[in-house]
Structure 1
Amino acid sequence: MKRTFIESLNDEGITGVAFKNINLKKETLAYFVEKGNATIADIGKELNISVPKATTLINDLITENIVKDFGKVDSTGGRKPNIYGLVSDSAFFIGVDIKTTCVRIGISDVQNNLINITEAIPYHLQNTISSLDKLCDIIIDYINNLSIPKSKILGIGMNISGRVNNFTGYSYSFFNFHEEPLSKTLSEKLGAKVYLENDSRSMAYGEFCSDLVNEEKDVLFINMDHGIGLGILVNGSLYYGKSGYSGEFGHIPIFDNEIICHCGKKGCLETEASGWALKNMLIEKLKNGQSSIITQYKKDIDSITLEDILDAANNDDFLSIELIGKIGENLGRGIALLINIFNPEVVILGGSLAATKELIRLPIISSVNKYSLSLVNSDTKFIISNLGDKSGIIGACLIARNRTLGIFK
């Protein structure tokens, strides 16, 4: 029995004419994704193939209910051509956003409409086999509870912090105990092609493809979470660097201190400008006798979480607000370096700390103005993320879709 295009899409063993036809169909779908509905003549011109060949491709995709004939299009003269486009629910892509204390999962259709999204699912990220197994169980349970046929799920985008090589599928910070790429291990466990990505880059891409960014092409996304991440977009494309590890912003050795960073070195930006640095600062202040509304419901000071501090700040807790301002000032020193180097059009502030809005944004801008060149920073916009927790999921879904269809590698 002849295999469908969907069934053959991720089969790496296909060669010859079949391989060429699958790629032409991928290019056709990619065209619809990027440009919208089109005529057969448009497809033929874009793919540099004859009209009869383009007609065959479109008819095959219509037969499989991936493409739809929307009827005649207005024409200036002569016979009106038919216009074709994607069937939204013909294919779906899952986005998994792995955080230190939770997992968020969502699913979008082929036209990037977010169909479903979970609340934060409690999870403890550790570099252990049991943590990996728990992650897979969470994702499998999510897939099993969907009303969408599994055969229509063409890819899973998965975000994780640390050093990730999205080209090879290896993660060097978490779940790095197999010889094979983590993406391959996950694909086998989950029964769908998995595309691994650094969380900050995926969040950056989600933000870039949202309404927050208009015509701007050079964008920096600062992921202000327990750690600090950076997503870089140059001329509208994600920048990875030679080995795929660009964006290790939190590990710039900017401070002269004796605080050991998670990377094993001292003086990293993260040691005085991250969520975990904020938590350590607040706990130290409380132990030295300062007060906070947090202790009204958290008697064990050492059990205070970053989320507790952010909630307290948004409820006018003076100590939390003061320390968030200090974190913002420290972070601004690092961002000033980025401004001087990249001269970006937009800097998007995202991650959990972005929930404090102007409490973090204003100290950052003040510090950037102090430490960067005024000529360089004068036309850079600073924007708080409007996607919030959704940015990573949207980015992961988009990356899974675009890599499946070959829109970008």
Structure 2
Amino acid sequence: MRHWLAGRTESRLQARLLAELRDEGPLSKAQLADRLEVSRTTVGVEVGRLGELGLAIEAGPAASRGGRRSVLVDLSPDIRFAGIAIGATGLSVGVTDGRLTTLAVRHRLCDIKQGPETVLALALDMVREVMGEAGVAELSGAGVGVPGPVDFHRGVSVSPPIMPGWDGYPVRDAVSRDLGCPVVLDNDVNVLAVGEQHAGVAKTARDFLFVKIGTGIGCGIVVDGDLYRGVDGCAGDIGHIRVDDFGPTCACGNTGCLEAFAGGAALARDATAAARAGRSTVLADLLAERGSLTAADVGSAVELGDPVAVQLIRDSGHRIGQVLASLVSFFNPGLIVIGGGVTGIGHSLLAEIRGVTYRRSLPLATGNLPIVLSELGAEGGVVGAARLVSEAVYSSPPGGAA
């Protein structure tokens, strides 16, 4: 079965119009004509077409600007998107309106290694739960993020290192069949970057990097306001940059990758080794109490003043800062946002990343470069996934005309 996007006639003007309404709120036809640099007559025709498609409505008279009053245009109140953010160890699912305001969100622990059938079944059950909670009967589209490489155009995962059983699985089409709506699939870091761009600290940034530090490490790249995926969708896979020829073996099969040194799984591994070797009584007590350690436990040990945990965080931040310094020199971004589960450790990790990045980059590149923590949390993935599918739906509305 061909995907819903194949063969659609794209209307760039309709897409721009809908994006303006999504990002700016209700606008008059006069304002839309000014922003889109077309005539009011053209705007009126496109609004009529979008009204027939159930995507836009006329919302009454606008404030007078002198002369005949224009008409306000808004997104249809019936538009609803689902955002499904799948991580290595958990799921976040939500429903939004057409402006991507979240109406209901749920989070649940889940191991990606359980395979696509199990994980997607849980995700789809959660979608139905949030739809019921928000009183939504039908979706206009759904976005999905997964923690591994994705062929965006085919909607499948490709050789994901931490996702056994997912290689080549038709995630997009399976979710689309179940929900009966258009679906887009991307990797989790790109989804988070788009969420940050829409509703987070990167809202006014045109060129920025979003670095996710979770079980793995990845980077979303936004250039002149657009997400950059690379030729094959692999752009930003910084977790597998080699930082030491003789380092530990990574999940990808290579040795010495950044992720193998500084990801959440690496922190948990090194903390467990320190606890068992008797180098940290704090970590040893946490291990005895909980049976296993996580990156969050390392953060707890840091708060208790444990010097071994502090050093683990410093080492992790140092490695990440080294790689980011190279990216800054190459890309010269205007902002770096740090997100992901490991950032729950707090500002000790951020301080080390900042220090190394600033020291090792050219002063011209870092003189006006903020490096900040994301404030969206898990909801950022839901918003980002919803935004990705909104862009697909708004640029190729079913039945749209060029």
TM bucket, shorter chain: 0.7 to 0.9
SS in 2 for 1:246: coil
Q: CA separation of 1:106/1:318 partners in 2, compared to 1, >3 Å: closer, same or farther? A: farther
Q: CA separation of 1:63/1:184 partners in 2, compared to 1, >3 Å: closer, same or farther? A: closer
Matches within 5 A, 1:219-234: 219-234=208-223
SS in 1 for 2:82: strand
Name whichever of 191-200 and 41-50 sits farther off. Answer: 41-50
Pairing partner for 1:243 from 226, 232, 252: 232
Deviations 1:104-149 (A, max 9, x none): 112211112121111x312111163543454345335425533433
For the Cα contact (< 8 Å) 2:272–2:292, is it kept in 1?
Answer: no
Deviations 1:320-356 (A, max 9, x none): 2221111101111111111111111111111112222
Partner of 1:61: 51
Q: CA separation of 1:11/1:297 partners in 2, compared to 1, >3 Å: closer, same or farther? A: closer
Q: CA separation of 1:136/1:40 partners in 2, compared to 1, >3 Å: closer, same or farther? A: same
Matches within 5 A, 1:270-289: 270-289=259-278
Task: Find out whether 1:74 has 2:74 as its counterpart.
Answer: no
Separation (CA, whole Å) in 2 of partners of 1:141 and 1:38: 33
Partner of 1:7: none
Q: CA separation of 1:302/1:264 partners in 2, compared to 1, >3 Å: closer, same or farther? A: farther
Separation (CA, whole Å) in 1 of partners of 2:113 and 2:335: 34
Pairing partner for 1:360 from 344, 349, 365: 349
Partner of 1:135: 122
SS in 1 for 2:143: strand
Question: Given the two structures, how large is their TM-score scaled by the length of structure 1?
Answer: 0.84
Task: Find out whether 1:123 has 2:105 as its counterpart.
Answer: no
CA offset at residue 403 of structure 1? 1.6
Partner of 1:104: 92
Equivalent residue letter for 2:143: G
Matches within 5 A, 1:172-191: 172=158, 173=160, 174=163, 181-191=170-180
Unaligned runs of 5+ in 2: 398-402
Identity of aligned residues (%): 23
CA offset at residue 365 of structure 1? 1.8
Separation (CA, whole Å) in 1 of partners of 2:393 and 2:265: 36
Equivalent residue letter for 2:112: L
Task: Find out whether 1:171 has 2:157 as its counterpart.
Answer: yes
Q: CA separation of 1:80/1:307 partners in 2, compared to 1, >3 Å: closer, same or farther? A: same
For the Cα contact (< 8 Å) 2:56–2:73, is it kept in 1?
Answer: no
Q: CA separation of 1:390/1:371 partners in 2, compared to 1, >3 Å: closer, same or farther? A: same
Q: CA separation of 1:187/1:295 partners in 2, compared to 1, >3 Å: closer, same or farther? A: same
SS in 2 for 1:84: strand
Equivalent residue letter for 2:82: I
Higher relative contact order at CA 8 Å, sep ≥6: structure 1 or structure 2? 2
Name whichever of 256-265 and 226-235 sits farther off. Answer: 256-265
For the Cα contact (< 8 Å) 1:259–1:267, is it kept in 2?
Answer: yes
Task: Find out whether 1:387 has 2:373 as its counterpart.
Answer: no
Partner of 1:6: none
Unaligned runs of 5+ in 1: 1-9
Equivalent residue letter for 1:166: F
Separation (CA, whole Å) in 1 of partners of 2:49 and 2:182: 26
Matches within 5 A, 1:2-401: 28-40=17-29, 46=36, 51=41, 54-55=44-45, 57-58=47-48, 61=51, 66-76=56-66, 78-87=67-76, 89-118=77-106, 120-126=107-113, 128-143=115-130, 145-151=132-138, 153-172=139-158, 173=160, 174=163, 181-213=170-202, 215-299=204-288, 303-401=292-390
Q: Cα RMSD between the aligned structures?
A: 3.2
For the Cα contact (< 8 Å) 2:195–2:384, is it kept in 1?
Answer: yes
Deviations 1:143-170 (A, max 9, x none): 553343332x111111111111222212
Name whichever of 269-278 and 374-383 sits farther off. Answer: 374-383
Name whichever of 179-188 and 280-289 sits farther off. Answer: 179-188
Question: Given the two structures, how large is their TM-score scaled by the length of structure 2?
Answer: 0.85
Separation (CA, whole Å) in 1 of partners of 2:250 and 2:277: 23
Equivalent residue letter for 2:64: D
SS in 2 for 1:146: helix
SS in 2 for 1:383: strand
For the Cα contact (< 8 Å) 2:210–2:338, is it kept in 1?
Answer: yes
